Structure 1
Amino acid sequence: MDALPTPDEAIDATRCWLERAVIGLNLCPFAKAVHKKGQVRYVVSEATQPLQLHADLVRELETLRDADPEAIDTTLLIHPGVLADFMDFNEFLEVADDTVADLALEGEIQVASFHPHFQFEGTAPDDVTNFTNRSPFPTLHLLREASIDRAVAAFPDAASIFETNIATLDKLGVEGWQALFAKP
């Protein structure tokens, strides 16, 4: 097994991915504003077992729920030591959704998923379209639904984001994606 990154290394890699890919390629037109305002909370879980990650998820959902949205609008829960296998990660998403429900946060917070081996159903592992959801480490993105609603209202053609992302990545290609993260 490869050595795990330090928390600072995991955050730096995730921030680089957010800035160069998510914001830089405009994969999420809503990310730039919260990033620029410093409203993204980066948390690295030291979990090595799903049960430990679940405890961190509960804590971070409660933190986001209780925080002033002007201070913390969204949280990236990065967990490099657990759920490296995409299928295991994918199964954990049901646990994450159940946890949102158990905490009575449905309609308030939702969980989005990013993973280094993300793969849409029906695509090949190396299909560039999978990169829309590929991050340096397994990551649970905790989003306030009110923020999503405001962003969608400000971006009237939100349904076109996915298609635009696919076109962007098709044009970029896997080599172009890798070049985004090459050190100068």
Structure 2
Amino acid sequence: MELSHDDIIAATRNWLEKAVIGLNLCPFAKSVYVKDQVRIVISDAKDPATLLEHLMAELRLLADSEPEEVDTTLLVHPYVLQRFLDFNDFLEIADAALADMGLEGTLQVADFHPKFQFSGTTINDVSNNTNRSPFPTLHLIRESSIERAVEAFPDAATIYERNIALMQEMGRDGWEALNVGTPKSK
């Protein structure tokens, strides 16, 4: 049996609150989250073509929305692109869609996946947890928001290294204790 949208959103919020914000993996996330400017959308897509349609609709909605209303969008798609390499390949399609829509330089797509793996690491390398989410997720971000965040956090380039060091310090047991993985279906 599939998880409900409420279950998927709850798991995504749990991950955001405990890992992304709680561990400060993204120092920019808390301010937009507490202002309720993070849109979480569940795609029931079962194939990449349908996901692309949903992605393009969300890109357009974000581009047309005021940042004070919707600053960023998480497009969670639990039923497609379960294999990380397929998901990773889809990112090229997402970038092409941005360009085709004339949104390159306005929006960008970041990625989170339950099986995320940095190049040069093993699947079980704890550093991969910095980009692991309960479900495959495309993060749609305004370029202007990134620019403001980088101005406020001048050492933004060091976030990546700090996050990896934190994961290594926490270890697998520490990460698993957060309980931010994919919930079991009912």
Which range, TM-score by smaller chain? over 0.9
CA distance in 1, matches of 2:118, 2:57: 29
Q: 1:170 aligns with which of 151, 164, 168?
A: 168
RMSD of aligned Cα (Å): 0.8
Q: Which amino acid aligns with 1:142?
A: L
What's the CA shift for 1:70? Answer: 0.1
Partner of 2:156: 158
What's the CA shift for 1:124? Answer: 0.5
Partner of 1:81: 79
- Map residues 10-29 of structure 1 onto 2, 5 A cutoff: 10-29=8-27
Q: 2:132 aligns with which of 127, 131, 134?
A: 134
CA distance in 2, matches of 1:129, 1:39: 28
What's the CA shift for 1:174? Answer: 1.1
Partner of 2:184: none
Partner of 2:94: 96
What's the CA shift for 1:4? Answer: 2.8
Structure 2 residue runs without a partner (length 5+): 181-186
User: What secondary structure, in the 3-state scheme, does the structure 2 residue paired with 1:116 have?
Assistant: coil
TM-score, L = length of structure 1: 0.96
Could you list the runs of 4 or more consecutive aligned residues of structure 1 that deviate by over 6 angstroms after TM superposition?
none
CA distance in 1, matches of 2:138, 2:172: 23
CA distance in 1, matches of 2:32, 2:179: 22
- Map residues 33-72 of structure 1 onto 2, 5 A cutoff: 33-72=31-70
CA distance in 1, matches of 2:99, 2:130: 27
8 Å CA contact retained: 1:5, 1:80: no
Structure 1 residue runs without a partner (length 5+): none
CA distance in 2, matches of 1:81, 1:5: 10
What's the CA shift for 1:91? Answer: 0.5
Q: How many residues align?
A: 180
Partner of 1:111: 109
TM-score, L = length of structure 2: 0.95
Partner of 1:124: 122
For residues 109-136 of structure 1, the C-alpha deviation after alignment (integer angstroms, 9 at most, x for no partner) is: 0000000000001100000100010000
8 Å CA contact retained: 1:42, 1:78: yes
CA distance in 1, matches of 2:169, 2:90: 32
Partner of 2:146: 148
